[in-house]
Amino acid sequence: MTTIYLTRHGETEWNLAHRFQGQLDSPLTEKGRLQASWLGERLEEVTFSAIYSSSSNRALDTAKIVRGQRQMTIETRPDLREIMLGKWEGRIIQGIEEDDTENYNYFWKKPHLYQPEVGETFEDVINRSYKVLEEIKEKHEGNVLVVSHGIVLKSILCAIEKKPIRELWKGPFMVQTSLTILESTDQGFDIIKAGDTSHHRSFE
């Protein structure tokens, strides 16, 4: 059996600035690094057979902190990167909402209708990210850590639960370094935890 520990990267500078990141990048904040350390402490006694990360630096830096003192290589995968948002990437969210109102509303309220001029649909993200989990299931036994992004995590859960894309946003929002645990089955995966943040602490 393979147990996958899925998490999102820690808080970044662009999260604070309310900018869409997508496949662009910004560094972890002090709080983001602390969030990763809290998760690392929670998982300190877990023996991992492998660690995977999105190739984006914010995810890789999170993975390195969570890895702690383990002498393990982190395998980076472009297919675990966040949704490609095209012209929206790097922009303040309020400006996108004002300039591209219809598609912005589709993105959050009717994800099955979201069709960017440049970038990926949610279906694109589901297809590429779920394949990575299937590869991990075939390649590894035991516990595997996977560090990725909020929409990727929601897409993976959508695939596991066989929900239509219109229901992608149902269920817990994947906040920074929340923990989702999956166990492999003959049919796919069972969801043991989704978006758990019991390791989070107050940040002053």
What stretch of H or E contains 134? helix 122-139
Tell me the residue ranges of DSSP E strands in the chain. Answer: 2-8, 48-54, 74-77, 142-148, 179-184, 189-196
* C-alpha–C-alpha distance, residues 72 and 104, integer Å: 40
State the catalytic residue, choosing from 82, 89, 120, 149: 82
Structure tokens that stand for 26 in this block: 């910004």
Which residues, including other chains, have CB under 8 Å from residue 35's CB and lie 6 or more apart? 10, 11, 176, 177, 200
Q: Which of 9, 11, 89, 120 is catalytic?
A: 9
Active site residue 97: no
Active site residue 9: yes
Q: Are 147 and 66 in contact (CB under 8 A)?
A: yes
Q: Would you name the residues annotated as active-site residues?
A: 9, 82
